[in-house]
C-alpha cells in the first residue's frame, strides 16, 4: 500500500507541471497586456517598461515558467498583480470556504443519492422506482444557479426562513449545499441503481438468499458492498467537479470562496492568482482521487490483496 501511495504521489508531479504549462500557454495566447490593464492606456512607456520588469514579464516565456515552478516548490506562488498581496495568502483566505462547500455538496449527494438508488433498484419498476428515477431526472436537468435563485425567492423572499447570503453559520449552509449538490445526488442515485441492479442478479446474491439470509442482510452486506466501487468513483469525480464548478453557487449566495475570486482574476488578467488557483484545485483533485483509490482497498478485499 505504501509503495502504491508513493507511486501515485510521484505521478502527480508531471500532472501538476502540465497544468502550470497549459495555464502559461493560455496566458500568452490571451489578447491584452496585463501591464496596460493595471496602469491604463495613458501610461508612459517608461512606467510600462518599469512595471513589466517588476512583474518579470520582460524575461523569455520559458524563463518565466521555470522561475514560477521553482517558486511553487518553495510555496511561493508569486504576488497578485491587482492587490499586490502574496497569492498564497489571497488563495488560502478563500479556499477553505470552497472546500467546505464542495464537501457538504458531496455529503448531501451521498445521503440523498445512495438511499434513493437502493430503493429504486430493490423495488424495480414499482412506484418507488418511478418516483426516484423521475427525481433523478429532474436533479440532472436543473442548473444549480437556477435552483439557487429559486430557493432564495421561495425560502428567503416568500417565507423568510433562510438567509440569502453568507457562509459563517450552519443555517447559511443549507441552500448553497442543496443547490450545488442536487445534480451530483441525481448522478449518484442513477449510478447506485444501475450498480445495484447488476449486483443483485449475481450468483452470490442468489446463494445468500438460498441459504436463508434475511433480505436486509442480503441487500446491505452482499449487494451494496460490491456496488459501492463505481459509486465511490462517481463521488470522487463529483467532488472534483464541485470544487472547480462552485463559481456560480458562490456568486449567487455571496460566498467568499475561491471560484468567484478566480473568475475576477481571469477577467483582470491577474495570471499569478489564476494559475495558483487552478494549481491548487488540481492538487486537491489529485489527492481526492488518491483517497478514492485507497478507499477501494477497504471496500473490496480483492483490491486490498493486490496492494499486498
pLDDT at 109: 92
pLDDT at 302: 67
141 has pLDDT over 80: yes
| Nearest of 32, 176, 161 to residue 108 by alpha carbon | 176
Q: How far apart are CA 38 and CA 76, in angstroms?
A: 22
pLDDT at 304: 62
pLDDT at 153: 92
**Contact (CB, 8 A) for 297 and 304:** yes
Residue 76 three-state SS = coil
The residue ranges of every structural domain in the chain are 2-90, 95-256
285 has pLDDT over 80: yes
Q: How far apart are CA 177 and CA 171, in angstroms?
A: 11
pLDDT at 307: 58
108 has pLDDT over 90: yes
> How far is CA 42 from each of CA 53, 76, 129, 263, 299, rounded to the nearest angstrom?
18, 32, 66, 26, 63
**Predicted confidence band of residue 59 (pLDDT cuts 50, 70, 90):** confident
- pLDDT tens, position by position, 24-37: 888 777 776 677 76
| Sign of the CA dihedral running 125, 130, 132, 133 | positive
Q: How far apart are CA 307 and CA 270, in angstroms?
A: 44
Q: How far apart are CA 110 and CA 292, in angstroms?
A: 14
| Nearest of 105, 114, 45 to residue 246 by alpha carbon | 105
pLDDT at 175: 92
The average confidence (pLDDT) of the chain is: 83
For the beta carbon of residue 125, count every other beta carbon within 10 angstroms: 8
Residues 6+ apart with CB under 8 A from 38: 51, 81, 82
Angle at 296 between CA 290 and CA 297, to 5 degrees: 105
- pLDDT tens, position by position, 217-272: 888 888 888 888 888 888 888 888 888 767 778 888 888 888 778 888 888 778 88
- pLDDT tens, position by position, 142-183: 888 888 899 999 999 888 888 888 888 889 899 999 999 999
CATH for the stretch 95-256: 1.10.3720.10
Amino acid at each position: 500500500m505504501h509503495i502504491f501511495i508513493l507511486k501515485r504521489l510521484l505521478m502527480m508531479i508531471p500532472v501538476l507541471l502540465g497544468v502550470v504549462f497549459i495555464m502559461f500557454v493560455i496566458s500568452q495566447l490571451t489578447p491584452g497586456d496585463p501591464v496596460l490593464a493595471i496602469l491604463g492606456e495613458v501610461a508612459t512607456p517608461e512606467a510600462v517598461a518599469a512595471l513589466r520588469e517588476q512583474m518579470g514579464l520582460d524575461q523569455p516565456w520559458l524563463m518565466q515558467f521555470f522561475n514560477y515552478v521553482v517558486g511553487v516548490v518553495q510555496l511561493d506562488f508569486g504576488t497578485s498583480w491587482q492587490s499586490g498581496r502574496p497569492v498564497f495568502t489571497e488563495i488560502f483566505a478563500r479556499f477553505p470556504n470552497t472546500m467546505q462547500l464542495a464537501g457538504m455538496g458531496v455529503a448531501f449527494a451521498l445521503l440523498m443519492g445512495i438511499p434513493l438508488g437502493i430503493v429504486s433498484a430493490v423495488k424495480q419498476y414499482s412506484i418507488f422506482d418511478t418516483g426516484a428515477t423521475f427525481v433523478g431526472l429532474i436533479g440532472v436537468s436543473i442548473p444549480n444557479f437556477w435552483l439557487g435563485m429559486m430557493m432564495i425567492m421561495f425560502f428567503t423572499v416568500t417565507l423568510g426562513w433562510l438567509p440569502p447570503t453568507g457562509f459563517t453559520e450552519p443555517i447559511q449552509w443549507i441552500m448553497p449545499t442543496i443547490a450545488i449538490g442536487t445534480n451530483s445526488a441525481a448522478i449518484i442515485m442513477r449510478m447506485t441503481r444501475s450498480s445495484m441492479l447488476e449486483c443483485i442478479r449475481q450468483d452470490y446474491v442468489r446463494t445468500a438468499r438460498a441459504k436463508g439470509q434475511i433480505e436486509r442482510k442480503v441487500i446491505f452486506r452482499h449487494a451494496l458492498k460490491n456496488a459501492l466501487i463505481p459509486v465511490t468513483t462517481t463521488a470522487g469525480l463529483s467532488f472534483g467537479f464541485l470544487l472547480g464548478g462552485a463559481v456560480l453557487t458562490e456568486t449567487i449566495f455571496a460566498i467568499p470562496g475561491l471560484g468567484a475570486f478566480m473568475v475576477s482574476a481571469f477577467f483582470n488578467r491577474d495570471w499569478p492568482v489564476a494559475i495558483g488557483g487552478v494549481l491548487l484545485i488540481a492538487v486537491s483533485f489529485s489527492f481526492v482521487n488518491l483517497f478514492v483509490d485507497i478507499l477501494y482497498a477497504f471496500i473490496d478485499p480483492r483490491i486490498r490483496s493486490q496492494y499486498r
